């Protein structure tokens, strides 16, 4: 029976991690793995998270089941951060905890299917797990272009999908810090997107996995909020794994926005039933930690300061690279400064990417995606020189 299974290709990025670990050159640079790094190259546990974990250890008096909704205190503590001061929009938004942003995306797609969606449009390139999740749930995943060659977001392509859409269509939109391009819609483009969605049958599914790593917590949620203010229905997939540094603890939330408060119960009970069939209930630890950190004034401030520090460091790397524009033939760097988050795509071919690895110990995804946070004061000049060498 199991002999019918064929090998699936190993995840290219995981293979890269192994190759990087085996490389003995001391000045090697890892731009592959998608985690934040400090200027020392570390991915430490946030101080706010450590403090919340200590309190959790002291105060938790049971590990009994919570249910498929997970930690409702966590889900609700996050809502003003995501949706703003009128966080429930008059009782029209609520959600549940999920295993990471991945679980939230999975749940959003599954509930869209249950509500009658048959295809989910995806702007490409996108996070490599989006299309597999959509097709695994059993929906079609037609694609459109996310970005133009000049490094700006291709809002026209998205607007066309929204305007030509029919009942049964959904569209997956990154709220901020687009993975893998770093190219986000401008505030004016978000206005147009929200306007187009307000008269379209297309269901928006908004994936927000990097809030606070782009321009600011408020700024990074502004486009999402514009859309939610205009549409009757929307689904939101949230990840705390980057902005709280909780990656392996798998912390996420799924939210539904409905037209009338009376519709919320059905949306959430269906989501809970799907969650139960998929993973029964989410892992508790990380959600409890975020709840504690957000409810305690001092921990919350510590978190905000840590997040600001991360964002400012990413902006520093971006502006440093932008200043090197012109030093590298055929690889424009100036626009990196206008882009957001952990990632950027460099127009490098396979040979150049292999040469960077073999000759300079610079590791990046085969697509040309780099993790901005892999660059530090100590290695960024070497990186620019390596780029110049392979592009010469």
Out of 179, 189, 200, 211, the residue judged to bind ligand PMP by CB under 6 A: 179
Contact between 11 and 355 (Cβ < 8 Å) = no
Residue-level length of the chain:
392
Q: Name which of 200 and 239 has its Cβ closer to ligand PMP.
A: 239
Smallest separation, CB 238 to ligand PMP (Å): 9
Out of 34, 68, 125, 245, the residue judged to bind ligand PMP by CB under 6 A: 34
* Touching ligand PMP, residues 272-331 (CB under 6 A): none
Smallest separation, CB 98 to ligand PMP (Å): 9
Out of 174, 226, 257, 313, the residue judged to bind ligand PMP by CB under 6 A: 174
Out of 68, 70, 101, 287, the residue judged to bind ligand PMP by CB under 6 A: 101
Q: Name which of 53 and 241 has its Cβ closer to ligand PMP.
A: 241
Q: Interacting stretch for ligand PMP, rule CB under 6 A, among 42-50, 95-103, 158-166, 276-284?
A: 95-103
Q: Interacting stretch for ligand PMP, rule CB under 6 A, among 50-58, 101-109, 145-153, 297-305?
A: 101-109
Q: Name which of 106 and 318 has its Cβ closer to ligand PMP.
A: 106
Q: Name which of 67 and 128 has its Cβ closer to ligand PMP.
A: 128
Q: Name which of 70 and 100 has its Cβ closer to ligand PMP.
A: 100
Using CB under 6 A as the criterion, what x/- string covers residues 212-251 for binding ligand PMP? ---------------------------x-x----------
Q: Interacting stretch for ligand PMP, rule CB under 6 A, among 56-64, 100-108, 302-310, 344-352?
A: 100-108
Q: Name which of 179 and 379 has its Cβ closer to ligand PMP.
A: 179
CA distance 261 to 264: 6
Residues acting as catalytic residues: 127, 207, 209, 242
Handedness of CA 306, 312, 316, 322 (dihedral sign): positive
Site membership for ligand PMP, residue 100 (CB under 6 A): yes
Site membership for ligand PMP, residue 125 (CB under 6 A): no
Q: Interacting stretch for ligand PMP, rule CB under 6 A, among 22-30, 65-73, 97-105, 289-297?
A: 97-105
Q: What is the 3-state secondary structure (H, E, C) of the chain?
A: CHHHCCCCCCCHHHHHHHHHHHCCCCCCEECCCCCCCCCCCCCCCCHHHHHHHHHHHHHCCCCCCCCCCCCHHHHHHHHHHHHCCCCCCCCCEEEEEEEHHHHHHHHHHHHHHHCCCCEEEEEECCCCCHHHHHHHHCCECCEEECECCCCCECHHHHHHHHHHCCCCEEEEEECCCCCCCCCCCCHHHHHHHHHHHHCCCCEEEEEECCCCCCCCHHHHHHHHHHHHHHCCCEEEEEECCCCCCCHHHCEEEEEEECCCHHHHHHHHHHHHHHHHHHHCCCCCHHHHHHHHHHHCHHHHHHHHHHHHHHHHHHHHHHHHHHHCCCCCCCCCCHHHHHCCCCEEECCCCHHHHHHHHHHHCEECCCCCEEEHHHCCCCCHHHHHHHHHHHHC
Smallest separation, CB 36 to ligand PMP (Å): 11
Q: Nearest residue by C-beta to ligand PMP?
A: 100
Residues that bind ligand PMP (CB under 6 A): 34, 100-102, 105, 127, 174, 179, 207, 209, 239, 241, 252
């Amino acid at each position: 029976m199991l002999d019918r299974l064929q090998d699936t290709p190993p995840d290219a990025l995981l293979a890269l991690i192994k190759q990087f670990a085996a490389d003995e050159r001391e000045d090697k640079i890892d731009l592959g793995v998608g985690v934040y790094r400090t200027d020392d190259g570390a991915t430490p546990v946030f101080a706010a998270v450590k403090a919340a974990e200590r309190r959790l250890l002291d105060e938790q008096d049971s590990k009994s089941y919570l249910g498929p909704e997970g930690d409702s205190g966590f889900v609700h503590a996050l809502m003003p951060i995501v949706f703003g001061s009128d966080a429930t929009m008059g009782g029209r938004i609520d959600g549940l905890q999920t295993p990471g942003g991945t679980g939230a995306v999975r749940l959003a797609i599954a509930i869209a299917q249950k509500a009658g969606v048959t295809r989910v449009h995806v702007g490409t390139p996108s996070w490599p797990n989006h299309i597999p999740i959509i097709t695994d749930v059993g929906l079609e995943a037609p694609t459109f272009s996310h970005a133009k060659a000049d490094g700006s977001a291709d809002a026209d392509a998205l607007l066309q999908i929204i305007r030509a859409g029919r009942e049964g269509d959904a569209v997956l939109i990154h709220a901020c810090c687009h993975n893998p391009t770093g190219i986000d819609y401008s505030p004016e483009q978000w206005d147009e997107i929200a306007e187009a969605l307000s008269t379209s049958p297309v269901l928006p599914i908004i994936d927000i996995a990097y809030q606070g790593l782009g321009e600011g917590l408020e700024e990074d949620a502004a486009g999402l909020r514009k859309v939610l203010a205009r549409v009757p229905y929307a689904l939101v997939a949230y990840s705390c794994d980057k902005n709280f540094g909780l990656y392996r603890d798998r912390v996420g939330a799924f939210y539904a926005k409905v037209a009338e408060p009376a519709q919320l119960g059905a949306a959430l009970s269906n989501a809970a039933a799907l969650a139960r069939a998929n993973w029964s209930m989410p892992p508790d630890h990380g959600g409890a930690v975020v709840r504690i950190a957000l409810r305690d004034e001092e921990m919350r401030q510590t978190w905000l300061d840590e997040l600001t520090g991360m964002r400012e460091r990413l902006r520093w790397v971006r502006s440093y690279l932008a200043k090197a524009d012109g030093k590298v033939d055929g690889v424009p760097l100036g626009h990196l400064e206008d882009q957001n988050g952990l990632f950027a795509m460099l127009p490098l071919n396979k040979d150049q990417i292999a040469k960077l690895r073999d000759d300079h110990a610079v590791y990046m995804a085969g697509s040309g995606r780099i993790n901005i946070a892999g660059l530090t004061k100590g290695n960024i000049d070497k990186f620019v020189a390596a780029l110049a060498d392979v592009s010469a």
